[in-house]
Structure 1
Amino acid sequence: MAKTYAIGDIHGGLKALKQLIERLGLKSDDRLIFLGDYVDGWSESRQVIEYLMELGKTYSCIFIKGNHDAWCEEWLKGQGPNVEWLLHGGQASVASYAGISDEAAAEHLSFFERMPLYYEEDSRLFVHAGFSSMHGPAREHHPSNFFWDRTLWEMAMSVDNRIPKDSFFYPKRLLRYREIFIGHTPTTNYNIEVPMQKCNVWNVDTGAAFLGRITALDIDSKKFHQSEVVQLLYPGEIGRN
Protein backbone atom coordinates (compact mmCIF):
# COMPACT_ATOMS: atom_id res chain seq x y z
CA MET A 1 0.00 0.00 0.00
CA ALA A 2 1.33 3.43 -0.93
CA LYS A 3 2.39 5.65 1.95
CA THR A 4 2.17 9.40 2.37
CA TYR A 5 4.75 11.14 4.53
CA ALA A 6 4.55 14.64 6.01
CA ILE A 7 8.09 15.99 6.25
CA GLY A 8 9.02 18.76 8.65
CA ASP A 9 11.41 21.70 8.45
CA ILE A 10 14.77 21.17 6.71
CA HIS A 11 16.62 24.52 6.96
CA GLY A 12 19.48 23.87 4.58
CA GLY A 13 20.41 20.48 6.02
CA LEU A 14 20.90 18.55 2.78
CA LYS A 15 22.97 15.78 4.35
CA ALA A 16 20.22 15.08 6.88
CA LEU A 17 17.52 15.26 4.21
CA LYS A 18 19.29 12.72 2.01
CA GLN A 19 19.78 10.48 5.04
CA LEU A 20 16.10 10.69 5.90
CA ILE A 21 14.92 9.93 2.36
CA GLU A 22 17.23 6.90 2.25
CA ARG A 23 15.81 5.65 5.55
CA LEU A 24 12.26 5.84 4.21
CA GLY A 25 12.98 3.19 1.60
CA LEU A 26 10.51 4.84 -0.76
CA LYS A 27 8.48 2.88 -3.29
CA SER A 28 7.53 4.42 -6.61
CA ASP A 29 3.95 5.17 -5.55
CA ASP A 30 4.77 6.69 -2.17
CA ARG A 31 4.09 10.39 -1.72
CA LEU A 32 5.91 13.18 0.11
CA ILE A 33 4.24 16.31 1.48
CA PHE A 34 6.89 18.79 2.61
CA LEU A 35 5.69 21.29 5.19
CA GLY A 36 8.06 24.13 4.31
CA ASP A 37 11.20 25.92 5.50
CA TYR A 38 13.67 24.32 3.13
CA VAL A 39 16.27 27.07 3.52
CA ASP A 40 18.10 29.12 6.18
CA GLY A 41 20.29 27.59 8.85
CA TRP A 42 22.82 25.06 7.61
CA SER A 43 25.12 25.73 4.68
CA GLU A 44 23.32 23.93 1.83
CA SER A 45 20.07 25.79 1.23
CA ARG A 46 20.57 26.13 -2.53
CA GLN A 47 21.56 22.47 -2.71
CA VAL A 48 18.42 21.46 -0.79
CA ILE A 49 16.27 23.24 -3.36
CA GLU A 50 18.13 21.56 -6.21
CA TYR A 51 17.69 18.17 -4.55
CA LEU A 52 13.96 18.74 -4.00
CA MET A 53 13.41 19.81 -7.59
CA GLU A 54 15.03 16.56 -8.75
CA LEU A 55 13.15 14.49 -6.15
CA GLY A 56 9.89 15.85 -7.51
CA LYS A 57 10.71 14.36 -10.89
CA THR A 58 10.83 10.84 -9.40
CA TYR A 59 8.16 10.87 -6.70
CA SER A 60 4.82 12.56 -6.16
CA CYS A 61 5.74 15.57 -4.02
CA ILE A 62 3.94 18.60 -2.65
CA PHE A 63 6.16 21.47 -1.51
CA ILE A 64 4.32 23.83 0.84
CA LYS A 65 5.78 27.28 1.40
CA GLY A 66 7.25 28.25 4.77
CA ASN A 67 8.12 31.68 6.12
CA HIS A 68 11.84 31.21 5.40
CA ASP A 69 11.01 30.18 1.86
CA ALA A 70 8.96 33.35 1.45
CA TRP A 71 11.93 35.41 2.62
CA CYS A 72 14.27 33.65 0.20
CA GLU A 73 11.76 34.10 -2.62
CA GLU A 74 11.65 37.84 -1.98
CA TRP A 75 15.45 37.99 -2.12
CA LEU A 76 15.59 36.02 -5.37
CA LYS A 77 13.15 38.58 -6.79
CA GLY A 78 15.59 41.33 -5.87
CA GLN A 79 13.68 42.59 -2.82
CA GLY A 80 16.12 43.00 0.00
CA PRO A 81 17.80 41.23 1.55
CA ASN A 82 15.49 41.48 4.56
CA VAL A 83 17.60 42.29 7.63
CA GLU A 84 15.44 40.09 9.89
CA TRP A 85 15.87 37.22 7.44
CA LEU A 86 19.66 37.57 7.51
CA LEU A 87 19.59 37.37 11.31
CA HIS A 88 17.49 34.19 11.26
CA GLY A 89 19.49 31.98 8.93
CA GLY A 90 19.24 33.94 5.71
CA GLN A 91 22.95 34.74 5.62
CA ALA A 92 23.73 31.05 5.17
CA SER A 93 21.28 30.89 2.27
CA VAL A 94 22.81 33.92 0.59
CA ALA A 95 26.26 32.32 0.89
CA SER A 96 24.99 29.05 -0.60
CA TYR A 97 23.72 30.91 -3.68
CA ALA A 98 27.08 32.51 -4.41
CA GLY A 99 28.07 31.99 -8.04
CA ILE A 100 24.72 30.60 -9.20
CA SER A 101 23.89 31.41 -12.80
CA ASP A 102 21.02 33.72 -13.68
CA GLU A 103 19.26 30.82 -15.41
CA ALA A 104 19.52 28.55 -12.37
CA ALA A 105 18.42 31.36 -10.03
CA ALA A 106 15.34 31.86 -12.22
CA GLU A 107 14.54 28.14 -11.93
CA HIS A 108 14.79 28.37 -8.14
CA LEU A 109 12.56 31.43 -8.06
CA SER A 110 9.98 29.64 -10.18
CA PHE A 111 10.10 26.70 -7.76
CA PHE A 112 9.40 29.00 -4.80
CA GLU A 113 6.62 30.80 -6.65
CA ARG A 114 4.85 27.52 -7.43
CA MET A 115 4.73 26.42 -3.79
CA PRO A 116 1.16 26.23 -2.43
CA LEU A 117 0.39 27.94 0.87
CA TYR A 118 -1.55 24.90 2.08
CA TYR A 119 -2.93 21.61 0.84
CA GLU A 120 -6.24 19.89 1.68
CA GLU A 121 -7.16 16.26 1.15
CA ASP A 122 -9.58 13.80 2.75
CA SER A 123 -10.48 16.18 5.60
CA ARG A 124 -6.79 16.74 6.31
CA LEU A 125 -4.90 20.03 6.14
CA PHE A 126 -1.18 20.40 5.49
CA VAL A 127 0.21 23.88 6.18
CA HIS A 128 3.50 25.29 7.40
CA ALA A 129 2.20 27.26 10.36
CA GLY A 130 -1.56 27.68 10.62
CA PHE A 131 -4.54 29.84 9.76
CA SER A 132 -6.62 32.30 11.75
CA SER A 133 -10.10 32.22 10.22
CA MET A 134 -12.64 30.06 12.01
CA HIS A 135 -14.15 29.48 8.56
CA GLY A 136 -10.99 27.78 7.30
CA PRO A 137 -8.04 28.62 5.03
CA ALA A 138 -10.22 29.58 2.06
CA ARG A 139 -11.56 32.49 4.13
CA GLU A 140 -8.15 33.59 5.45
CA HIS A 141 -7.79 37.38 5.20
CA HIS A 142 -4.02 37.42 5.66
CA PRO A 143 -2.24 34.80 3.51
CA SER A 144 1.02 35.29 5.42
CA ASN A 145 -0.69 33.54 8.36
CA PHE A 146 -0.26 30.27 6.50
CA PHE A 147 3.47 30.45 7.11
CA TRP A 148 3.67 32.70 10.20
CA ASP A 149 0.69 31.92 12.47
CA ARG A 150 1.46 30.14 15.74
CA THR A 151 -1.94 30.58 17.35
CA LEU A 152 -3.34 27.37 15.84
CA TRP A 153 -0.66 25.30 17.53
CA GLU A 154 -0.78 27.30 20.76
CA MET A 155 -4.56 26.88 20.85
CA ALA A 156 -4.34 23.12 20.29
CA MET A 157 -1.79 22.88 23.09
CA SER A 158 -4.02 24.76 25.50
CA VAL A 159 -7.34 22.95 24.91
CA ASP A 160 -8.61 21.15 27.98
CA ASN A 161 -9.30 17.55 26.92
CA ARG A 162 -12.40 17.54 29.13
CA ILE A 163 -14.17 19.91 26.72
CA PRO A 164 -16.33 17.86 24.30
CA LYS A 165 -16.09 18.67 20.61
CA ASP A 166 -19.78 19.59 20.47
CA SER A 167 -19.31 22.24 23.17
CA PHE A 168 -19.69 25.92 22.31
CA PHE A 169 -16.27 26.37 23.90
CA TYR A 170 -14.38 23.95 21.65
CA PRO A 171 -12.21 25.85 19.11
CA LYS A 172 -14.00 26.04 15.78
CA ARG A 173 -10.76 26.03 13.80
CA LEU A 174 -9.95 22.55 15.08
CA LEU A 175 -13.31 21.20 13.94
CA ARG A 176 -12.69 22.03 10.30
CA TYR A 177 -10.44 19.03 9.72
CA ARG A 178 -9.97 15.47 10.86
CA GLU A 179 -6.23 16.10 11.11
CA ILE A 180 -3.87 19.03 10.61
CA PHE A 181 -0.14 18.66 9.92
CA ILE A 182 2.20 21.61 10.58
CA GLY A 183 5.83 22.59 10.99
CA HIS A 184 7.17 26.04 11.98
CA THR A 185 7.35 25.66 15.79
CA PRO A 186 10.12 23.25 16.82
CA THR A 187 9.07 20.49 19.18
CA THR A 188 12.53 20.88 20.70
CA ASN A 189 11.22 24.12 22.21
CA TYR A 190 9.39 21.79 24.61
CA ASN A 191 12.36 19.42 25.05
CA ILE A 192 10.66 16.89 22.78
CA GLU A 193 12.64 15.43 19.87
CA VAL A 194 9.80 13.63 18.05
CA PRO A 195 6.52 14.76 16.44
CA MET A 196 3.93 16.10 18.85
CA GLN A 197 0.16 15.66 18.73
CA LYS A 198 -2.22 18.05 20.43
CA CYS A 199 -5.94 17.62 19.71
CA ASN A 200 -6.00 16.81 15.99
CA VAL A 201 -2.84 18.79 15.18
CA TRP A 202 0.45 17.03 14.41
CA ASN A 203 3.61 19.12 14.66
CA VAL A 204 6.41 17.61 12.54
CA ASP A 205 9.07 20.33 13.01
CA THR A 206 11.57 18.53 15.23
CA GLY A 207 14.13 21.31 15.39
CA ALA A 208 16.38 20.61 12.39
CA ALA A 209 17.49 24.26 12.32
CA PHE A 210 18.82 24.02 15.86
CA LEU A 211 19.79 20.87 17.76
CA GLY A 212 17.16 18.52 16.34
CA ARG A 213 16.47 16.29 13.37
CA ILE A 214 14.44 16.22 10.15
CA THR A 215 11.36 14.02 10.52
CA ALA A 216 9.02 12.21 8.14
CA LEU A 217 5.66 11.13 9.60
CA ASP A 218 3.48 8.47 7.96
CA ILE A 219 0.14 10.28 8.03
CA ASP A 220 -1.86 7.06 8.37
CA SER A 221 0.10 4.84 10.76
CA LYS A 222 1.77 7.79 12.55
CA LYS A 223 5.06 5.92 12.50
CA PHE A 224 7.95 8.26 11.87
CA HIS A 225 11.53 8.25 10.63
CA GLN A 226 14.24 10.76 11.48
CA SER A 227 17.67 11.85 10.36
CA GLU A 228 20.57 12.06 12.75
CA VAL A 229 20.89 15.32 14.69
CA VAL A 230 21.59 17.75 11.85
CA GLN A 231 24.35 19.59 13.70
CA LEU A 232 26.39 16.38 13.90
CA LEU A 233 26.38 16.23 10.09
CA TYR A 234 27.72 19.80 9.83
CA PRO A 235 30.65 19.98 12.26
CA GLY A 236 31.96 23.50 12.64
CA GLU A 237 28.62 25.08 11.76
CA ILE A 238 26.09 26.54 14.17
CA GLY A 239 22.89 26.49 12.07
CA ARG A 240 20.38 28.81 13.75
CA ASN A 241 21.73 28.16 17.24
Structure 2
Amino acid sequence: MSRLIAVGDIHGQYQMLQSLMEDVAPTDKDQLVFLGDYVDRGPQTPEVIDWLIDFQKRYPQTVFLRGNHEQMLLDAVVAADRKQSGRNTFLDDFMALKGRGLPSAVFYFVSCGGQESLQAYNGGDIVEDPCAALQRIPAEHVEFFSSTVFYWQYQQYFFVHAGVDPKDPTGEKRQNEAFLWQRKPLWKKVKGWDKIVVHGHTPVSEPYISQTEINIDTGAGYGDCLTACDVLQMRFWQSDGAS
Protein backbone atom coordinates (compact mmCIF):
# COMPACT_ATOMS: atom_id res chain seq x y z
CA MET A 1 0.00 0.00 0.00
CA SER A 2 1.35 3.38 -1.02
CA ARG A 3 -1.24 5.66 0.58
CA LEU A 4 -4.21 5.15 2.91
CA ILE A 5 -6.63 7.91 1.99
CA ALA A 6 -9.88 8.81 3.73
CA VAL A 7 -12.43 11.00 1.92
CA GLY A 8 -14.88 13.07 3.94
CA ASP A 9 -18.62 13.67 3.63
CA ILE A 10 -19.46 14.51 0.00
CA HIS A 11 -23.18 15.34 0.31
CA GLY A 12 -24.00 15.59 -3.38
CA GLN A 13 -21.12 17.95 -4.20
CA TYR A 14 -20.04 16.43 -7.49
CA GLN A 15 -17.86 19.32 -8.63
CA MET A 16 -15.94 19.31 -5.35
CA LEU A 17 -15.49 15.54 -5.61
CA GLN A 18 -14.13 15.75 -9.14
CA SER A 19 -11.72 18.55 -8.27
CA LEU A 20 -10.53 16.82 -5.10
CA MET A 21 -9.88 13.48 -6.78
CA GLU A 22 -7.98 15.12 -9.61
CA ASP A 23 -5.60 16.47 -6.96
CA VAL A 24 -5.41 13.16 -5.08
CA ALA A 25 -4.74 11.24 -8.32
CA PRO A 26 -5.39 7.73 -6.92
CA THR A 27 -3.55 4.66 -8.21
CA ASP A 28 -3.88 0.90 -7.80
CA LYS A 29 -1.31 1.07 -5.00
CA ASP A 30 -3.55 3.28 -2.85
CA GLN A 31 -6.27 2.25 -0.43
CA LEU A 32 -9.16 4.70 -0.37
CA VAL A 33 -11.87 4.78 2.28
CA PHE A 34 -14.94 6.95 1.67
CA LEU A 35 -16.49 7.89 5.00
CA GLY A 36 -20.17 8.02 4.02
CA ASP A 37 -22.82 10.72 3.55
CA TYR A 38 -22.57 10.74 -0.23
CA VAL A 39 -26.16 11.97 -0.62
CA ASP A 40 -28.39 14.91 0.38
CA ARG A 41 -27.98 18.67 0.81
CA GLY A 42 -25.80 19.16 -2.29
CA PRO A 43 -27.27 19.50 -5.79
CA GLN A 44 -25.83 16.47 -7.62
CA THR A 45 -26.34 13.29 -5.64
CA PRO A 46 -27.02 11.08 -8.73
CA GLU A 47 -23.80 12.21 -10.40
CA VAL A 48 -21.83 11.55 -7.20
CA ILE A 49 -23.19 8.01 -6.93
CA ASP A 50 -22.54 7.25 -10.59
CA TRP A 51 -18.95 8.44 -10.10
CA LEU A 52 -18.48 6.32 -6.95
CA ILE A 53 -19.86 3.20 -8.63
CA ASP A 54 -17.49 3.71 -11.56
CA PHE A 55 -14.61 4.31 -9.16
CA GLN A 56 -15.47 1.06 -7.35
CA LYS A 57 -15.24 -0.82 -10.65
CA ARG A 58 -11.81 0.67 -11.38
CA TYR A 59 -10.50 0.26 -7.84
CA PRO A 60 -12.36 -2.72 -6.31
CA GLN A 61 -10.30 -2.54 -3.12
CA THR A 62 -11.99 0.76 -2.24
CA VAL A 63 -14.02 0.82 0.99
CA PHE A 64 -17.34 2.65 1.08
CA LEU A 65 -18.69 3.28 4.57
CA ARG A 66 -22.34 3.94 5.34
CA GLY A 67 -23.35 7.33 6.68
CA ASN A 68 -26.50 8.24 8.53
CA HIS A 69 -27.87 9.84 5.35
CA GLU A 70 -27.50 6.59 3.39
CA GLN A 71 -29.23 4.77 6.24
CA MET A 72 -32.07 7.29 6.26
CA LEU A 73 -32.43 6.91 2.49
CA LEU A 74 -32.54 3.12 2.71
CA ASP A 75 -35.13 3.26 5.52
CA ALA A 76 -37.18 5.71 3.46
CA VAL A 77 -37.06 3.47 0.38
CA VAL A 78 -38.42 0.55 2.42
CA ALA A 79 -41.17 2.69 3.97
CA ALA A 80 -42.14 4.20 0.61
CA ASP A 81 -42.32 0.77 -1.00
CA ARG A 82 -44.68 -0.45 1.73
CA LYS A 83 -46.91 2.60 1.34
CA GLN A 84 -47.02 2.52 -2.46
CA SER A 85 -47.80 -1.20 -2.52
CA GLY A 86 -50.52 -0.89 0.10
CA ARG A 87 -48.67 -3.02 2.65
CA ASN A 88 -48.74 -0.47 5.44
CA THR A 89 -49.10 -1.87 8.92
CA PHE A 90 -51.06 -0.24 11.73
CA LEU A 91 -47.75 1.00 13.12
CA ASP A 92 -46.89 2.52 9.71
CA ASP A 93 -50.18 4.40 9.66
CA PHE A 94 -49.71 5.56 13.25
CA MET A 95 -46.17 6.78 12.60
CA ALA A 96 -47.38 8.62 9.48
CA LEU A 97 -49.15 11.01 11.83
CA LYS A 98 -45.71 12.17 12.98
CA GLY A 99 -44.61 12.43 9.35
CA ARG A 100 -47.42 14.82 8.35
CA GLY A 101 -49.03 12.17 6.19
CA LEU A 102 -45.78 10.58 5.05
CA PRO A 103 -44.25 7.45 6.58
CA SER A 104 -42.03 8.78 9.35
CA ALA A 105 -38.87 7.37 7.73
CA VAL A 106 -39.69 9.28 4.53
CA PHE A 107 -40.47 12.47 6.44
CA TYR A 108 -37.19 12.37 8.37
CA PHE A 109 -35.18 11.67 5.21
CA VAL A 110 -36.78 14.55 3.32
CA SER A 111 -36.39 16.89 6.30
CA CYS A 112 -32.66 16.16 6.67
CA GLY A 113 -31.55 17.10 3.17
CA GLY A 114 -33.22 14.30 1.25
CA GLN A 115 -35.46 16.73 -0.61
CA GLU A 116 -32.41 17.92 -2.57
CA SER A 117 -31.51 14.33 -3.47
CA LEU A 118 -35.03 13.52 -4.66
CA GLN A 119 -35.17 16.70 -6.71
CA ALA A 120 -31.85 15.82 -8.34
CA TYR A 121 -33.12 12.31 -9.16
CA ASN A 122 -36.26 13.99 -10.55
CA GLY A 123 -34.31 15.98 -13.15
CA GLY A 124 -34.26 19.09 -10.99
CA ASP A 125 -38.05 19.36 -10.82
CA ILE A 126 -39.91 19.91 -7.56
CA VAL A 127 -40.98 16.62 -5.98
CA GLU A 128 -44.67 16.50 -5.10
CA ASP A 129 -44.77 12.85 -3.96
CA PRO A 130 -41.62 11.79 -2.07
CA CYS A 131 -42.73 8.16 -1.86
CA ALA A 132 -43.11 7.87 -5.62
CA ALA A 133 -39.81 9.70 -6.15
CA LEU A 134 -37.98 7.29 -3.84
CA GLN A 135 -39.15 4.38 -5.94
CA ARG A 136 -37.58 6.01 -9.02
CA ILE A 137 -34.06 5.97 -7.59
CA PRO A 138 -32.05 3.62 -9.83
CA ALA A 139 -31.77 0.09 -8.47
CA GLU A 140 -28.01 0.21 -9.00
CA HIS A 141 -27.80 3.17 -6.64
CA VAL A 142 -29.93 1.48 -3.97
CA GLU A 143 -27.73 -1.62 -4.27
CA PHE A 144 -24.67 0.57 -3.81
CA PHE A 145 -26.10 2.09 -0.62
CA SER A 146 -26.99 -1.38 0.67
CA SER A 147 -23.47 -2.67 0.01
CA THR A 148 -21.80 -0.04 2.19
CA VAL A 149 -20.21 -1.17 5.47
CA PHE A 150 -20.37 0.35 8.95
CA TYR A 151 -16.66 0.37 9.77
CA TRP A 152 -13.26 -0.73 8.49
CA GLN A 153 -9.97 -1.24 10.30
CA TYR A 154 -6.35 -1.11 9.25
CA GLN A 155 -3.63 -1.48 11.87
CA GLN A 156 -4.22 1.28 14.45
CA TYR A 157 -6.80 3.10 12.31
CA PHE A 158 -10.54 2.61 12.75
CA PHE A 159 -12.55 4.15 9.91
CA VAL A 160 -16.20 4.98 10.53
CA HIS A 161 -18.71 7.59 9.47
CA ALA A 162 -19.62 9.15 12.82
CA GLY A 163 -18.01 7.58 15.88
CA VAL A 164 -17.55 4.47 17.95
CA ASP A 165 -18.27 3.24 21.44
CA PRO A 166 -14.97 1.63 22.55
CA LYS A 167 -17.01 -0.65 24.82
CA ASP A 168 -19.01 -1.84 21.80
CA PRO A 169 -16.49 -1.75 18.92
CA THR A 170 -18.50 -4.04 16.63
CA GLY A 171 -21.82 -2.27 17.17
CA GLU A 172 -23.64 -5.34 18.48
CA LYS A 173 -25.02 -3.70 21.64
CA ARG A 174 -26.07 -0.40 20.07
CA GLN A 175 -27.02 -1.86 16.66
CA ASN A 176 -24.56 0.34 14.73
CA GLU A 177 -26.05 3.53 16.19
CA ALA A 178 -22.66 4.95 17.20
CA PHE A 179 -21.18 4.31 13.75
CA LEU A 180 -23.95 6.35 12.10
CA TRP A 181 -24.85 9.05 14.60
CA GLN A 182 -22.39 9.52 17.45
CA ARG A 183 -20.91 13.00 17.90
CA LYS A 184 -19.24 12.38 21.24
CA PRO A 185 -15.49 12.94 20.77
CA LEU A 186 -12.89 10.62 22.26
CA TRP A 187 -11.18 13.19 24.44
CA LYS A 188 -8.81 10.71 26.00
CA LYS A 189 -7.49 7.20 25.63
CA VAL A 190 -9.90 4.51 26.75
CA LYS A 191 -8.59 1.44 28.54
CA GLY A 192 -8.45 -1.48 26.14
CA TRP A 193 -8.96 0.76 23.09
CA ASP A 194 -5.85 1.76 21.14
CA LYS A 195 -7.30 2.81 17.78
CA ILE A 196 -7.23 6.19 16.07
CA VAL A 197 -10.78 6.87 14.85
CA VAL A 198 -10.95 8.41 11.35
CA HIS A 199 -14.41 9.86 10.76
CA GLY A 200 -16.66 12.59 9.40
CA HIS A 201 -20.29 13.40 10.33
CA THR A 202 -19.56 16.34 12.65
CA PRO A 203 -18.65 19.40 10.53
CA VAL A 204 -15.52 21.30 11.51
CA SER A 205 -13.95 24.36 9.92
CA GLU A 206 -10.57 22.62 9.65
CA PRO A 207 -9.62 18.93 9.98
CA TYR A 208 -9.54 18.00 13.66
CA ILE A 209 -6.55 15.91 14.71
CA SER A 210 -5.77 14.45 18.14
CA GLN A 211 -4.14 11.36 19.62
CA THR A 212 -7.46 9.54 19.40
CA GLU A 213 -9.23 10.78 16.27
CA ILE A 214 -9.09 12.48 12.89
CA ASN A 215 -12.24 14.29 11.75
CA ILE A 216 -12.32 15.37 8.09
CA ASP A 217 -15.93 16.50 7.61
CA THR A 218 -15.20 20.10 6.64
CA GLY A 219 -18.73 21.06 5.64
CA ALA A 220 -19.05 20.17 1.96
CA GLY A 221 -22.76 19.62 2.57
CA TYR A 222 -23.05 23.30 3.47
CA GLY A 223 -20.98 24.48 0.51
CA ASP A 224 -17.74 24.81 2.45
CA CYS A 225 -14.97 22.31 1.72
CA LEU A 226 -14.42 18.64 0.87
CA THR A 227 -11.34 17.05 2.43
CA ALA A 228 -9.25 13.92 1.89
CA CYS A 229 -6.40 12.74 4.10
CA ASP A 230 -3.59 10.22 3.69
CA VAL A 231 -3.50 9.08 7.31
CA LEU A 232 -0.10 7.37 6.92
CA GLN A 233 1.67 10.58 5.97
CA MET A 234 -0.90 13.06 7.35
CA ARG A 235 -1.18 14.79 4.01
CA PHE A 236 -4.39 16.67 3.25
CA TRP A 237 -6.16 17.72 0.05
CA GLN A 238 -9.14 20.07 -0.09
CA SER A 239 -11.60 21.35 -2.65
CA ASP A 240 -14.23 24.02 -2.10
CA GLY A 241 -17.14 25.38 -4.08
CA ALA A 242 -14.89 27.79 -5.92
CA SER A 243 -12.56 25.07 -7.25
State the secondary structure of the residue aligned to 1:134.
coil
1:63 shift after superposition: 0.5
CA contact (8 A) 1:133 1:140 kept: no
Cα distance in structure 2, aligned partners of 1:87 and 1:139: 28
CA contact (8 A) 2:166 2:193 kept: no
1:121-162: CA deviation from partner (whole Å, max 9, x where unpaired): 2132100011225242254433122110112x2x42xx4xxx
Higher mean C-alpha deviation, range 98-107 or range 132-141 = 98-107
Q: Match of 2:227?
A: 215
Q: Which amino acid aligns with 2:116?
A: A
Q: Which runs of 5+ in 1 are unaligned?
A: 160-169, 234-241
TM-score normalised by L of structure 2:
0.78
CA contact (8 A) 1:76 1:105 kept: no
**1:8-87 to 2 correspondence within 5 Å?**
8-59=8-59, 60-79=61-80, 80=103, 82-87=106-111
Higher mean C-alpha deviation, range 135-144 or range 44-53 = 135-144
1:69–1:104: structure 2 CA closer, same or farther, 3 Å change rule? closer
Cα distance in structure 2, aligned partners of 1:115 and 1:137: 15
Match of 2:115 among 72, 76, 91: 91
Q: How many residues are matched?
A: 210
Q: Match of 2:146?
A: 113
1:10-68: CA deviation from partner (whole Å, max 9, x where unpaired): 00001100110001122232221000100011111111111100011112311000001
Cα distance in structure 2, aligned partners of 1:52 and 1:72: 17
Q: Which amino acid aligns with 1:115?
A: T
CA contact (8 A) 1:125 1:177 kept: no
Q: Match of 1:202?
A: 214
CA contact (8 A) 2:171 2:178 kept: no
Q: Which amino acid aligns with 1:71?
A: M
TM-score normalised by L of structure 1:
0.79
